[in-house]
Chain A
Amino acid sequence: MILPGASVLVGVPVLAGALLLVEAGLEHTRAPKALARAAGTGVVAARAIAAVEFVIGVPSVVAVLLGTAELRWALAGQTAMYVAFAAHLSWRRYRREESDCGCNRMGTQVGPGGIARAVLLAGATLAATALYPALVLPGGGVTILLVACAVVLAVLLYTLPAAVDGRAA
């Protein structure tokens, strides 16, 4: 049985992760060259990554809020995105590459802050996917407070890599 508080503890970070994914998709759509440089890909691949981020992020937001059974794939996709991102950053960190991580337009270097963020969001989204729809946000009047909390958490997580790891030189 899932305790009522568990849906808050997991649902809010997962919603924050989905909002970050939407924001990343929008930023990378506007500036695909920056992502291409950071990820070591071409501009076409960067545009494709941006599209996938957006196409997975938006349904994930809806899935966490409404618990629609058909949208479980979006949470699975979000898990895959964060696992892939954590692996990509860890590999670059292992190779001592400290250029732009591609986390956002703040131009942050690859470091423990960006990796920890991706790992934690991947873990929370994996739990939400496995137990879906049990861990979606509870309904009622408390929902708006929890959405506001997720927005605050998303803003904090957006700035965390730049604060912890610093700007790419």
Chain B
Amino acid sequence: MSVLTAAVVLSWGCLAVLTLAMAGILRQLRELQSEVVRLGASPSRAAIGRRVPELAGAEHLVLLVLDPGCGFCDAVHEPFTRLAGRHPGARFEMLSPTARWAGSPNIRFRVDPGLITELDLPWAPALLHVGADGTVLAEQPVTSPERLEEQVAGLLTTPMHQQGAS
């Protein structure tokens, strides 16, 4: 095999890698499009206004919902544990279907797959603002670990409106 032949074979190899990548990107795009359509067509999934007695307590609750299949949840977990002390008027808790994450002295960690199913949130990680009687006042996906504090502050000050991801 000459060097020229080898170079041509190598070029075809690069084209094959590009084709695979393009096919993968198109598949992901189709999945995203169908997910957007599905989310847009199912407003009934919103948990706002629903009363969840398990979440009732003496104070308002900020609940971080995590999922073990979500890599981004790892990045959000640690900053959330630091927020509890900065909002003394509210309880901070985390909820996950499995015990993958650890709690902290100020934050109760719930492992409750049944409650996750009941809430039926379309995102992970998600933030919920829950009233003292257990009524869900607001819900939103976590957009970035860096903006978590700002997002929690916004969630607590505008409790009666569902907030988008932007």
Contact = CB atoms under 8 A, between A and B. Distances in A.
Interface residues of B, number: 29
A168 B71 contact: yes
Given A37-B74, A153-B14, A168-B71, A8 B21 contact: no
B14 A100 contact: no
Contacts of A13: 13
B40 interface: no
Interface stretch (B3-11, B106-114, B127-135, B155-163): B3-11
A157 B10 contact: no
Given A163-B25, A169-B124, A9 B6 contact: yes
Given A9-B10, A169-B67, A153 B2 contact: no
Given A153-B10, A153-B13, A156-B18, 6 more contacts: A4-B3, A5-B7, A6-B1, A8-B7, A98-B69, A156-B17
Interface in B26-59: 28, 31
Interface residues of A, number: 34
Contacts of A78: none
Contact of A165 (B6, B18, B24): B24
A164 B25 CA distance: 7
A138 B18 CA distance: 26
A3 interface: yes
B71 to A, nearest CB: 3
Interface of B: 1-7, 9-10, 13-14, 17-18, 20-25, 28, 31, 67-72, 74, 124
Interface in A13-49: 13, 37-38
Interface string A153-169: 10011011001111111
Contact of A109 (B2, B23, B71, B124): B71
A169 B72 contact: yes
Contacts of A168: 70-72
A164 B18 CA distance: 10
B20 A5 contact: no
B4 to A, nearest CB: 8
